[in-house]
Amino acid sequence: MNSSLKITLIYLAVGIAWIFVSDRAALLIFSDDQVKLIQFQTFKGLLYVGLTALLLFTLIRGYYRTIRKKVEELEEVNKKLQESNKELEQFAYVASHDLQEPLRMVSSFLTQLERKYREQLDEKAHQYIYYAVDGSKRMQQMISDLLQLSRSGLKEEFKEEVDLNTLIDEFYELRKEQLDAVNAKFVYDHLPVIQTFKSPLKQIIHNLLDNALKYSKEHVPPRIEILVTEKDTHWEFAIQDNGIGIKSDYFEKIFVIFQRLHNKEIYGGSGLGLAIVKKNVAALNGKIWLKSKPDKGSTFYFTIKK
């Protein structure tokens, strides 16, 4: 039994006993004097109310003192976490830059080596160089994605009006050559302008659109439909594709960092895209889920609070 329940039960027991005993005593003492009986009952009621108010005041003051202390402790912990996060972000930036530089050097010199001594190298040597350069490029991409993951979340200080049509247009401009090459088609009505944090929402949408393009069927033009529905407390997004689909067994696995369902030789990437999406959705106080069947395409749903 917790302390608050014990105090409540004791208070009730004492109060009931006090009323019962005092009423009986008053009837015995003032049975012949109704005025004094009424005065006594009035005094008793005022005393009871006063003691109750004093008890409540003491308990509430103690409660608020405890809350203030906890708030101060949480503020201190939050301050330390913010400082730690800044240090980690700085470390991630420096580490990623320092790690990518030697990789770029390795890739560059191997490429020059192949170009200069092309005629003197046999087929096996060319193959070794190709694997080394490819591994270097993939490591660079992985480091870049890790840096993006470390920076994902709420970074802006204020919300702003975000035109979702503009976000789609920006994606099209960034991927124009790729989209035209596979004859990809976007399907959506005029999307709303919403009040939110732009950067994380942009990362979410662009990563999901990249995913829809990457896992499209061979020789089938990608068709990507974008729906946005307004609810009472949130916005619900749906990005539907006609790609290769996903087995239900892997619905949770795909959001885990570095988890891949396909051979990297067939489908590139570092396995960080959906982890970044999930982190950003959580930062916007939303949730993400999907519906999919193999060879039937996938629909990714996510929400963000208004």
Do 299 and 251 belong to one domain?
Answer: yes
- Judged by DSSP in three states, 299 sits in strand
pLDDT tens digits, residue range 1-54? Answer: 666 677 777 777 777 777 777 777 776 776 677 777 777 777 777 787 788 888
- The better pLDDT of the pair 300, 7 is held by 300
Cβ atoms 162, 196 nearer than 8 A: yes
Confidence band (pLDDT; 50, 70, 90) for 150? low
- The better pLDDT of the pair 264, 252 is held by 252
Residue 22 placed within a domain:
no
Residue 18 placed within a domain:
no
Arithmetic mean of pLDDT, 167-172: 91
Closest CA to 52 of 21, 25, 18: 18
pLDDT in the model for residue 288: 93
Burial 79-94 (b: 16+ CB within 10 A, else e): eeeeeeeeeeeeebee
Do 54 and 75 belong to one domain?
Answer: yes
Residue 27 placed within a domain:
no
Dist. CA 299–CA 294, nearest whole Å: 12
Residue 75 placed within a domain:
yes
Do 168 and 240 belong to one domain?
Answer: yes
Arithmetic mean of pLDDT, 247-259: 75
Beta pairing, strands 288-293 & 297-305: antiparallel
Dist. CA 224–CA 172, nearest whole Å: 12
- The single-letter DSSP state of residue 22 is H
Residue 192 placed within a domain:
yes
Do 164 and 301 belong to one domain?
Answer: yes
- Judged by DSSP in three states, 235 sits in strand
Arithmetic mean of pLDDT, 225-238: 94
Residue 239 placed within a domain:
yes
Confidence band (pLDDT; 50, 70, 90) for 204? very high
Arithmetic mean of pLDDT, 267-285: 78
Whether residue 235 is predicted with pLDDT greater than 90 in this model: the reply is yes
Q: What is the DSSP string of 92-122?
A: HHHHHHHHHHHHHHHHHHHHHHHHHTGGGS-
Do 300 and 230 belong to one domain?
Answer: yes
Do 209 and 296 belong to one domain?
Answer: yes
Instruction: Give the 3-state secondary structure percentages of the chain, helix then strand then coil, rounded to 5.
Output: 65, 15, 25
For the chain, the average pLDDT equals 81
Q: What is the 3-state secondary structure (H, E, C) of 38-92?
A: HHHHHHHHHHHHHHHHHHHHHHHHHHHHHHHHHHHHHHHHHHHHHHHHHHHHHHH
Confidence band (pLDDT; 50, 70, 90) for 143? confident
- The better pLDDT of the pair 61, 227 is held by 227
Do 73 and 194 belong to one domain?
Answer: no
Do 195 and 300 belong to one domain?
Answer: yes
Residue 211 placed within a domain:
yes
| Domain extent for 214 | 160-305
Closest CA to 305 of 239, 230, 253: 230
Residue 10 placed within a domain:
no
Do 164 and 242 belong to one domain?
Answer: yes
Do 291 and 241 belong to one domain?
Answer: yes
| Domain termination site, one of 129, 151, 173 | 151
Which are the contacts of 248, defined by CB distance < 8 A and separation ≥ 6? 292
